[in-house]
Amino acid sequence: MLKTVVLDSLIKNAKQGKVGKISVKEGDVLALGDKILQVESVKGNTIVKAKVAGTVKSVLVSEGAQVKVGQALIEIEQA
């Protein structure tokens, strides 16, 4: 089953940020809680972690891209 990881929230209620380091690529196998990427905002940095185990199907953002809360980040084929 394909699961989409979205940006749930940012630190101190920020509404948008910039994608920092992306720690995964298509085909990577993730365990629950593995770091996916970091989002930087003027209020601080947020680490996005895997909420399901599985294989990264596609990365929907790139480093340096502006993202908003609720935006899709990656798709994971759930194990």
Chain centroid offset of residue 64 CA: 13
> Residue 74: which CATH number?
2.40.50.100
- pTM of the predicted model, to two decimals? 0.88
Strands (E), the chain: 2-6, 16-22, 29-30, 35-41, 44-49, 54-59, 66-68, 72-78
> Model confidence over 21-78: pLDDT tens digits?
999 999 999 999 999 999 999 888 999 999 999 999 999 999 999 999 999 999 999 9
Q: Which residue blocks in 1-79 are alpha helix, DSSP H? A: none
Quickly tell me which residue has 């194990």 as its tokens: 79
Q: How many domains does the chain have?
A: 1
- Binning pLDDT at 50, 70 and 90, where does residue 5 land? very high
- Binning pLDDT at 50, 70 and 90, where does residue 10 land? confident
Token pair in block for residue 60:
């929907």
* Rounded distance between C-alpha atoms, residue 61 and residue 32, angstroms: 21
